[in-house]
Amino acid sequence: MPAFDFPKIKAEGLQVDFVKYAKEGFEAIKPDDHYRLKTYGVCAQRHEGYFMIRIRIPGGVIGADQIERIASLAERFGHGSAHLTTRGNLELHSVRINDFLSIREELAGVGITTRSACGHTFRNILCCHRNGVCPKQPFDLYPWVQKIHHHVFERADHYNPRMPNRMNVSFSGCSNCAADAAINDIGFVAKKRDGVQRSVYGFELWVAGSLGKSPHLGEKLKDFITFEEVVPALEAITELHCCYGDQQNAVVKGRLKFLVAKWGFEKFREEFEKRFLEFKARQSALPSDLVQPIVFEEPTDVDALSPGEGIYNQRQAGFLRIQFWVPLGEMSSRQMRQVAGLSQKFADGKSYHTTRQNFEFHWVKKENVNSLIEAMGQVGFSPRHSESILNVVACPGTSFCSLAVTSAQGAAQVLMKEFGSLALDRDPDLKDLKINVSGCPNSCAKHQVADIGFSGGLTELNGVRRFGYQLYIGGRFNGSVNEGIQIKKGLPDDLVFPCVEILLQIFKKKKLEGEKFADFVDRLGAESLVSLLDEQLMISKRSLVLPPVLMGPRASDGKSNDGTQQSLGSVAEWSGSASKIVHAFGDEVAIFKTPQGFRACQNLCPHAGGALGEGTIDGETVTCPLHGWQFDLQSGACRTEPGNGIKIYKAEVRKGEVFLRS
């Protein structure tokens, strides 16, 4: 991805000639337009010539007609599926720029958009998935989600060229989901104030939260703002961000949290109050549904006990909300169509996306629960595991993302498989633990606030620079929020599960009665846990130091390494193995042991990111397990779709050791 001169690009304008690109395709795209495209939700993908399209789903609430439209678009223009993100969006992968105009028009036909879904923009507006049915919520948030969504969307041409970096906004309904306010640039938490004659409703206002490479938890800017003050507050904060944020160093220091750190919170508060007064004076009258929202009475008959795993009582008597587990947030077009149909048959015709990549149905009648669960089971989704340790959150990682350096979804799949085989979802001490995996330090999977989190990154270990995982423990994200502690760097893929398994064993052995994992980490301390973890890793004869897999001095043959070769171990280690997937030369590489010798190629299929290392081999041909594309392992040429070749690496055997060359 090119390094962009953001001030120059924004000064020149963010307009894109989509008609030209629809006709002329990828090769016609100007370098600077790759950033401009992001502001329209057209994002870089690892596979040249293809894009990820991010679709905004305000508040994570999506109608049946919208789901059906996205399913159709995925089938016709993508790779037949969509990815559910941690901000409630849906993403299409492997889309050509030629098709974007058609996609945009068809989305507009059902009232949704990709505008400002990426880049230095106002991103999708986040809202608690329990909105409207939560027993603790004082009033309905969704009108405000829609108001702010339309406010920033209609002003995209004003905001997007001026913002030094993105702005994330969240709405929380009660203390149970208030943690979102602390990790968003602007957070609104619903609040009720009891007065002498009547109750007054409004929001707490939080500011400058963000995770990513330099996490900073937000702070409360105001204890209470009225409904009439919501838009002026948002505009005042945004104006400070645009006027004083770091435009020159946008990627590293452009987020709002850095401005607050530079000024100090009290100075930021003072400057905010000045702008706040100015924007309040300009505020126009609000629609009645915003100043007089649907206020909920205190429920008296909601059973606190859940009727079953993933099944919860609504505040409205006789109705249930049901959460369905979507492994890794991946849904096929067929599944999306069936979900849309079931939402109309058994619920209110909508799906409610969660920040852990699942979806919920609301307004399900109790007498229909069993029929719905049976029908959804035929689709491939179940309430079981939706809130358990098996629901590992992961970003797409190197399957698609151009920024990722590790296969987050690959690591998550291993964890889910191992957790399932050990039946950890039935262990009362472990079943509710949250595990999150990010493919890079940007924290799309929110690894810092999980019980156990992993983040892909480049690490130097014993003089060797390589991609691996950073390990975090003790994060909290349930009402309150705390960052986890980083205890390891540079973990290879094959140590992800062993480290988790050992940590869970230590927890089971040493925890106090009723003690949560984060509290356990606080009590024992990171240093003690690292010592215990290392001890068990040594006992199991697992080393934290692997042969170099990217660059740096080569130890195996005593020769200096010019960055063009690496050892894959002895030939004996390959007995019984047909293929392996390794990280090398900044790429995911699939290695095959064939009758003709060792062969190596890029792991990711250029069509839809399928793992070629998991494909079938026939002579000198590998077949992708996803859609059957076939590639020649000598030349890299695609036999089924000419013009879509793969990169070939040279694998050779010297003195009983397998080497890989770039």
What is the structure's pLDDT at 557?
31
What is the structure's pLDDT at 547?
31
DSSP 297: P
- Is domain 393-539 classified as CATH 3.20.20.70? no
Q: What is the mean pLDDT of residues 306-323?
A: 90
**Whole-angstrom distance, CA of residue 190 vs CA of residue 128:** 11
Segments of the chain assigned to CATH 3.90.480.20: 6-108
Element (H, E) at 225: strand 219-226
Segments of the chain assigned to CATH 2.102.10.10: 565-661
DSSP-assigned states of every residue in 164-212: SS-B-EEEE-SGGGGGGGGGSSEEEEEEEEE-SSSEEEEEEEEE--B-T
How many CB atoms neighbour CB 638 within 10 A? 19
Long-range (24+ apart) CB contacts under 8 A made by 24-31 are: 25/96, 25/97, 25/98, 26/96, 26/97, 29/97, 31/2
Q: Which residues pair with 44 in a beta bridge?
A: 51
From residue 471, alpha-carbon distances to 135, 136, 435, 485, 493 in Å are: 36, 35, 11, 8, 12
Element (H, E) at 598: strand 597-602
pLDDT, tens only, 188-199: 999 998 877 788
What is the structure's pLDDT at 549?
30
Asked if 136 and 98 touch (Cβ cutoff 8 Å), the reply is no
**Residue predicted with more confidence, 595 or 439:** 439
**Whole-angstrom distance, CA of residue 389 vs CA of residue 420:** 9
Residue 10: which of 201, 212, 247 has the closest Cα? 247
**Residue predicted with more confidence, 549 or 595:** 595
Q: What is the mean pLDDT of residues 589-599?
A: 86
What is the structure's pLDDT at 553?
26
**Whole-angstrom distance, CA of residue 414 vs CA of residue 122:** 35
Segments of the chain assigned to CATH 3.30.70.3340: 311-379
DSSP 368: G
Backbone angles phi, psi at 464, to 5 degrees: -110, 130
Radius of gyration of the CA atoms of the chain, in A: 25
Model confidence at 454, pLDDT cuts 50, 70, 90, reads very high
DSSP-assigned states of every residue in 394-456: E--GGGTBSS--S-HHHHHHHHHHHHHHTTGGG-TTTTT--EEEESSTT-TT-GGGSSEEEEE
**Residue predicted with more confidence, 40 or 176:** 40
Asked if 386 and 323 touch (Cβ cutoff 8 Å), the reply is yes
Model confidence at 186, pLDDT cuts 50, 70, 90, reads very high
Model confidence at 545, pLDDT cuts 50, 70, 90, reads very low
Report the range of poorest mean pLDDT among 314-323, 433-442, 478-487, 503-512.
478-487
What is the structure's pLDDT at 603?
83
**Whole-angstrom distance, CA of residue 471 vs CA of residue 347:** 40
Q: What is the mean pLDDT of residues 432-439?
A: 96
Q: What is the mean pLDDT of residues 494-523?
A: 95
Q: What is the mean pLDDT of residues 633-644?
A: 80
Tokens found for residue 182: 């602390």
Asked if 534 and 543 touch (Cβ cutoff 8 Å), the reply is no
Q: What is the mean pLDDT of residues 163-183?
A: 94
What angle, rounded to 10 degrees, do the helices at 230-244 and 256-263 form? 80
Asked if 336 and 70 touch (Cβ cutoff 8 Å), the reply is yes
pLDDT winner (highest mean) among 295-299, 350-354, 556-560: 350-354
**Whole-angstrom distance, CA of residue 567 vs CA of residue 1:** 28
Element (H, E) at 600: strand 597-602
| Residue 561 pLDDT > 80 | no
> Which residue, chain included where needed, has tokens 């079938």?
616
Model confidence at 415, pLDDT cuts 50, 70, 90, reads very high
| Full-model pTM | 0.82
The C-alpha angle with vertex 168 and arms to 164 and 169, in degrees rounded to 5, equals 130
b/e burial code for range 14-41 (CB count within 10 A of at least 16 → b): bebebeebbeeeeeebeebbbbbbbbbb
**Whole-angstrom distance, CA of residue 613 vs CA of residue 399:** 13
CATH hierarchy code of domain 6-108: 3.90.480.20
Asked if 472 and 561 touch (Cβ cutoff 8 Å), the reply is no
What is the structure's pLDDT at 559?
30
List, in order, residues 6 or more apart from 238 with CB less than 8 Å away. 159, 163, 167
What is the structure's pLDDT at 479?
78
> Which residue, chain included where needed, has tokens 């507050």?
233
**Whole-angstrom distance, CA of residue 221 vs CA of residue 184:** 13
**Residue predicted with more confidence, 654 or 336:** 336
Our CA dihedral for 465, 468, 474, 477, rounded to 10 degrees, sits at 120
Q: Judging by DSSP bridges, how do beta strands 199-207 and 319-324 pair with one another?
A: unpaired
| Residue 41 pLDDT > 70 | yes
Segments of the chain assigned to CATH 3.30.413.10: 136-291, 393-539
Model confidence at 542, pLDDT cuts 50, 70, 90, reads low
**Whole-angstrom distance, CA of residue 222 vs CA of residue 217:** 16
CATH topology of domain 136-291: Sulfite Reductase Hemoprotein; domain 1 (3.30.413)
| Domain 311-379: CATH class, spelled out | alpha beta
Residue type, 454: F
CATH topology of domain 565-661: Rieske Iron-sulfur Protein (2.102.10)
Mean pLDDT of the chain: 89
List, in order, residues 6 or more apart from 145 with CB less than 8 Å away. 58, 59, 61, 125, 127, 171
Q: What is the mean pLDDT of residues 125-136?
A: 95
Q: What is the mean pLDDT of residues 441-462?
A: 89
Tokens found for residue 193: 């104030």
Backbone angles phi, psi at 660, to 5 degrees: -115, 130
What is the structure's pLDDT at 20?
97
What is the structure's pLDDT at 556?
30
Residue 521: which of 475, 567, 568, 590 has the closest Cα? 475
Backbone angles phi, psi at 325, to 5 degrees: -80, 125
Q: What is the mean pLDDT of residues 54-68?
A: 98
**Residue predicted with more confidence, 293 or 350:** 350
What is the structure's pLDDT at 303?
63
Report the range of poorest mean pLDDT among 65-69, 215-219, 286-290, 443-447.
286-290
**Whole-angstrom distance, CA of residue 393 vs CA of residue 327:** 8
What is the structure's pLDDT at 299?
62
**Residue predicted with more confidence, 562 or 87:** 87
**Whole-angstrom distance, CA of residue 260 vs CA of residue 82:** 37
Asked if 452 and 473 touch (Cβ cutoff 8 Å), the reply is yes
What is the structure's pLDDT at 567?
72
**Residue predicted with more confidence, 458 or 520:** 520
**Residue predicted with more confidence, 646 or 303:** 646
What is the structure's pLDDT at 300?
54
